[in-house]
Structure 1
Amino acid sequence: MVGKVLTGNGITAYGNGAYSLIDSDELSDAERDALQQLCHQRLDAFRQQRGEEVFAHR
């Protein structure tokens, strides 16, 4: 699972039933927006490659 891998590598933390980005409060609004845009781009590319069915189980 992605969350476990990111947490194991010290990128995210898990608490209260959700994952959070470590030190995200140090990011500027522009950096946060850029990171969010990159995540959306990667998800879109993944969906194009694998199809929407990849998330059908959720």
Structure 2
Amino acid sequence: MECDNDEEGRDTRRINVEMKRSGEVVLPAVAGERTYVDRGLAQLAVREVGARLISK
């Protein structure tokens, strides 16, 4: 998760998701296009993106 500041000085977070199996990366990091103003929402988004990638 990357944290930046927007024009108004608020923290915004961008998620990155990578898939690992037994410590080995099987799918490189996928950078998210959306930003989230709340860390909890960003963590939820990571779980949802990860679940979609696993189901493919």
Q: TM-score, normalised by structure 1?
A: 0.37
Could you say which structure has the higher strand fraction? Answer: 2
Higher relative CO (CA 8 A, sep ≥ 6), structure 1 or 2? 2
Q: TM-score, normalised by structure 2?
A: 0.38
Q: Bigger radius of gyration, 1 or 2?
A: 1
Could you say which structure has the higher helix fraction? Answer: 1
